[in-house]
Structure 1
Amino acid sequence: MPWNWQHADWPNFNYDASAMLALEQRFLQASGELIGAVRHLSNDDSSQLRIELLSEEAIKTSEIEGEYLDRVSVQSSLRRQFGLTTDDRPVRPQERGIAQMMADVYRNWDRTLFHEELFNWHSMLMAGNRHLDTIGGYRRHEDAMQIVSGRLDKPTIHFEAPASLRVVREMDQFITWFNQSRPNGPFQLPALTRAAIGHLYFESIHPFEDGNGRIGRALAEKSLAQNVGQPSLISLAFTIEINRKAYYLALERHQRSLDIDGWMAYFSQTILEAQQATIDRTAFFIRKTKFYDRFRGKFNERQEKVVARIFREGIAGFKGGLSAENYISITGISRATATRDLQQLVEIGAFTRTGERRHTRYALYLQG
C-alpha cells in the first residue's frame, strides 16, 4: 500500500467536516473557560503559571522522543527567556534549546509562518548535536527518510517520507496551506480541523533529519493559538505522552491514506483532553497560590519542605496520601517530631487527616 504522499491527490485530505462541528464547539467553549480562569491572576502569578505549563510541555514533548531533561534547568532557562529572575545554574544545550523554542512559539504565535521560523526552531532544538548533517535547514541526504523499529537485520518500516529532493517544494506548499488556513485567511479552517490536518501533513513530509515530532507539535500549538487569538498553553505534549503508543499508532495508520476521519477524531479528542488538562492544572495552580497566601509564615522549615514536595506531585498528590513514614523520609526527623509537625498542620487547617494508626494519611486542604 502506498504512503499518503504517493497518492495522486496528495495533499488533499478527505474527512467529514460535519463530524467535527460538535468537537469544534466544545473547544471554543473550553477556550473561554480557560481565558476566564487566568484573567484575575496577578502578573507574578501569571508568569509563574506560564513557566510551569511551558516547562511541562518542553519536558513532555522531549520525552515522547525518548529524551529526558532536567525540570529545574528547563524552568531556569525559560525564566531567562522571559526576563524573569533566575539563578546562574549551568544548563545543557538541549534544555536551553527546547526552552528557547517554547518561548518563541509563545511570544510569536500570531506571526506568519516562514521557512526561517522553522529553521530557527530546528537550530534551537539541535544545539550541541554533532551527529546531523544539516542543522537549521531541511534534510538533504540521499538516503530514504524512514521511521523504523526492530532488529537492524530485520527492521519494521513504520513510515517512509518523501525524498529529500522533494522537501523544499513540499514545505513551500505546506507553509502556503498553513498561512491561508488561519483565521481571516482565504481558506480559513476551524481550530481543531486545522491543527489536526496540519500536524499529520507536516509529519508526513518529515522535513528535518531530526526534531520533526517536537517541531510538529509546536506547529499545532501555534495553529491553535492563532485560532483562539492568544497563546493557548494547551497541554498537548503532556496529554500525548500519557499514551504515546496510541499517538504513534494513529500517525502510522493514517499516513497510508488521504481519508483521515479516524485521525481527525483521534487528534481532536487529544486536543480536547489536553485543553481540559490545562484547565485542571490552572485551577490547581490557583488553589496552590491561595494555599500559600493563607499559610504564609505559619510553617517551619520541615513543613515547608514537605508541602513543596507534595505540590511537586501535581494534582494527584501522593498516591494513597501522605503517611508519617513519608514525612520522616522527606525530612529525616524522628517519629515524635513528625507526629507533632503533622498534628500542627491539621490543627491550622493546612492538612486533612483520614484513617487511624498505621493507616493514617494526610492531604493538603485546598480550597476552591
Structure 2
Amino acid sequence: MEYIWQSEDFPKFIFNKREIIPLIQQFAHDLGEISGIVMGFSEANKQDLFAEIMLSEALKTSEIEGEYFSREDVMSSLKANLGIKDYHQNNRNKKANAIAHLMIEVQSSYHKPISEKILLDWHHILMENERGINAGQFRTGIEPMQVVSGKFGDFIIHYEAPPSEDLPLMIPQFLKWYNDFEMNDIGKIGEGVVLSALAHLYFETLHPFEDGNGRIGRALAEKALSEKLETLVFISISKSIEKDKNRYYEELKRAQRNLDVNSWMLYFCSILQDALLDSKNQALFTLKKTLFFDQFKNQLNERELKAIQKMTEMGENSFVGGMNAKKYMSINKISKATATRDLQHLSEIGVFLKSGGGRSISYQLNL
C-alpha cells in the first residue's frame, strides 16, 4: 500500500486522543475568551470583525495556491455580499469576487449537513470563471490525478489520488462518514476539532475536483468546526497554514501514506490554535479601534478621519512607515500646507505619536 485510500481499513484513522486533549482544552479556553470579547461588540463591530477574518481567509487560501488578489477587491466583494451599509459591488475582478462569494456561502451553510450538492455548489462558485475547468463537477477521465513538482520530464510525484472512476463510490462514503461522525467522549469542542482535522485530510486524499481542492478542503475544515459547535467560529485556517505551508504539505503527505495520523492531528490542532489566536488579536484590535474613535471622533475633521480609517484598515502596526505629509496629501488630495496643519493638530490632541525629525518625521496611531 502506497496511499491510505488503497487500504481496506480506510478511513479508520488512528491517533492518540490523550495527546490532543490538552490542545483541545487550550482551544476551548481561548474560544471562551474571544466569545466574551465579541459579546460586548455592537452589531456593526461584529460585522467589521467577521469581515476582516473572512478577508484573511479569502486572501490566504488563494495565496497558498499561488493566486494573489488586492485586499480592496476582496473586501469590497465581501462587504457587498454581507450587505454592509455604504458598500456596493464595484469590483470587476471575477476571481476575487468568486473567493469572496465562497467565503460567504461557507459561513451561511455551516449548520447544514454536508452533501454532494453543497460541494458542487462551492466548486461552481469558485471555478465558474476559470477556463478549461468543469465548474461544479467532480473530475472524470482516465488521467491520474497527481500532485507533482519539478520541471517537465523530471517530475516528482508527491501524491496520487484515487482514479476518477472510483469517485462515484468514494464520495458518498465520505459524505456518510462525515455526517455520521461522533466522538462524544471528548466533548463538543473536541469533536469539532477532530472532525475539522480529519475531514480536511479525508477530502484532500480524495482530491475529487480538477482544481480547487485545497481551497474547498480548507473551507470544509472551517465548516466542520462550526457545524459541530453549532455556532459560527470565525477563524482563518489558511492564514495559519500559509505561515509555513511547506510544513503543511509535509504533514499532509505523511498522513496520506499511513492511517496512523497522530502527527497530523497534533499539527492541525496547532493550526486551529494559531488561527484562533489571530482572531482573538483581531477582536482586541477592533475593541481598541472602537474606543479610540469614541474618544476622538468629535475632534476630527473629515480629512483626519479618512486618514485614520486608512491606517486602521489593515490591522494594528500594518501601515508601513507610519503616516507622513506625503501619504496624507495622497490620501486626501490636498496641499502640503493643509496636510502639515492637520498632522500637527492630530499630534497635539494625542491621536498621533510623532517620531523622527525634519523630512523624516512620521506618525503612528496612539492606540
**TM-score, length-normalised on structure 2?**
0.90
Offset at residue 249 of structure 1 (A):
2.2
Offset at residue 20 of structure 1 (A):
0.7
Q: Distance in 1 between matches of 2:73 and 2:364?
A: 29
3-state SS in 2 of match to 1:296: helix
Q: Distance in 1 between matches of 2:56 and 2:320?
A: 20
Offset at residue 93 of structure 1 (A):
2.9
Find the counterpart in structure 2 of residue 74 from structure 1. 74
Q: Distance in 2 between matches of 1:319 and 1:74?
A: 21
Alignment of 1:262-273 (within 5 A): 262-273=263-274
Q: Distance in 1 between matches of 2:262 and 2:238?
A: 22
Deviation per residue, 1:44-64 (Å, 9 max, x gap): 222222222212211211111
Deviation per residue, 1:24-76 (Å, 9 max, x gap): 11111111112111112222222222222212211211111111223333233
Task: State the one-letter code of the partner of 1:362.
Answer: Y
Task: State the one-letter code of the partner of 1:202.
Answer: F
Worse-superposed segment, 16-25 or 327-336: 327-336
Worse-superposed segment, 324-333 or 47-56: 324-333
Find the counterpart in structure 1 of residue 54 from structure 2. 54
Offset at residue 337 of structure 1 (A):
5.2
Find the counterpart in structure 1 of residue 281 from structure 2. 280
Q: Distance in 1 between matches of 2:51 and 2:96?
A: 14
3-state SS in 2 of match to 1:363: strand
Find the counterpart in structure 1 of residue 255 from structure 2. 254
Q: Distance in 2 between matches of 1:39 and 1:65?
A: 35
Find the counterpart in structure 2 of residue 103 from structure 1. 104
- Is the Cα–Cα contact under 8 Å of residues 14 and 261 in structure 2 kept in the other structure? yes
Alignment of 1:7-156 (within 5 A): 7-85=7-85, 86-132=87-133, 134-156=134-156
Q: Distance in 1 between matches of 2:61 and 2:77?
A: 16
Offset at residue 277 of structure 1 (A):
0.1
Deviation per residue, 1:163-182 (Å, 9 max, x gap): 01111222211111111125
Q: Distance in 2 between matches of 1:81 and 1:332?
A: 30
Q: Distance in 1 between matches of 2:201 and 2:21?
A: 20
Find the counterpart in structure 2 of residue 236 from structure 1. 237
- Is the Cα–Cα contact under 8 Å of residues 148 and 155 in structure 1 kept in the other structure? yes
Offset at residue 268 of structure 1 (A):
0.7
Offset at residue 345 of structure 1 (A):
1.2
Offset at residue 254 of structure 1 (A):
2.2
Distance 1:284 1:163, change over 3 A: same
Find the counterpart in structure 2 of residue 174 from structure 1. 174
Offset at residue 114 of structure 1 (A):
0.7
Find the counterpart in structure 2 of residue 208 from structure 1. 209
Find the counterpart in structure 1 of residue 316 from structure 2. 315
Q: Distance in 2 between matches of 1:236 and 1:330?
A: 33
Q: Distance in 1 between matches of 2:20 and 2:131?
A: 43
Q: Distance in 2 between matches of 1:329 and 1:77?
A: 25
Offset at residue 117 of structure 1 (A):
0.5
Distance 1:69 1:359, change over 3 A: closer
Offset at residue 267 of structure 1 (A):
1.0
3-state SS in 1 of match to 2:299: coil
- Is the Cα–Cα contact under 8 Å of residues 94 and 128 in structure 1 kept in the other structure? yes
Offset at residue 141 of structure 1 (A):
1.7
Task: State the one-letter code of the partner of 1:259.
Answer: D
Identity across matched positions, percent: 38
User: Which ranges in structure 2 are unaligned for 5 or more consecutive residues?
Assistant: none
Worse-superposed segment, 11-20 or 241-250: 241-250
Task: State the one-letter code of the partner of 2:205.
Answer: S
Q: Distance in 2 between matches of 1:242 and 1:171?
A: 31
- Is the Cα–Cα contact under 8 Å of residues 138 and 168 in structure 1 kept in the other structure? no
Find the counterpart in structure 1 of residue 295 from structure 2. 294
- Is the Cα–Cα contact under 8 Å of residues 93 and 127 in structure 1 kept in the other structure? no
Find the counterpart in structure 2 of residue 219 from structure 1. 220
Deviation per residue, 1:54-102 (Å, 9 max, x gap): 1221121111111122333323332333333422414333223222221
Q: Distance in 2 between matches of 1:339 and 1:203?
A: 55
Q: Distance in 2 between matches of 1:269 and 1:18?
A: 15
Distance 1:39 1:139, change over 3 A: same
Offset at residue 204 of structure 1 (A):
0.7
Deviation per residue, 1:318-351 (Å, 9 max, x gap): 4564456655665676766554433321221211
3-state SS in 2 of match to 1:113: coil
Deviation per residue, 1:163-211 (Å, 9 max, x gap): 01111222211111111125879x9862222211111111011011111
**TM-score, length-normalised on structure 1?**
0.90
Distance 1:136 1:193, change over 3 A: same
Q: Distance in 1 between matches of 2:131 and 2:362?
A: 50
3-state SS in 1 of match to 2:34: helix
3-state SS in 1 of match to 2:159: strand
3-state SS in 1 of match to 2:149: strand
Task: State the one-letter code of the partner of 2:27.
Answer: F
Q: Distance in 1 between matches of 2:314 and 2:83?
A: 27
Deviation per residue, 1:231-290 (Å, 9 max, x gap): 111121122222222222221232221121111111110110000000101111122122
Task: State the one-letter code of the partner of 1:153.
Answer: G
- Is the Cα–Cα contact under 8 Å of residues 24 and 190 in structure 1 kept in the other structure? no
Offset at residue 356 of structure 1 (A):
5.4
Q: Distance in 2 between matches of 1:227 and 1:88?
A: 33
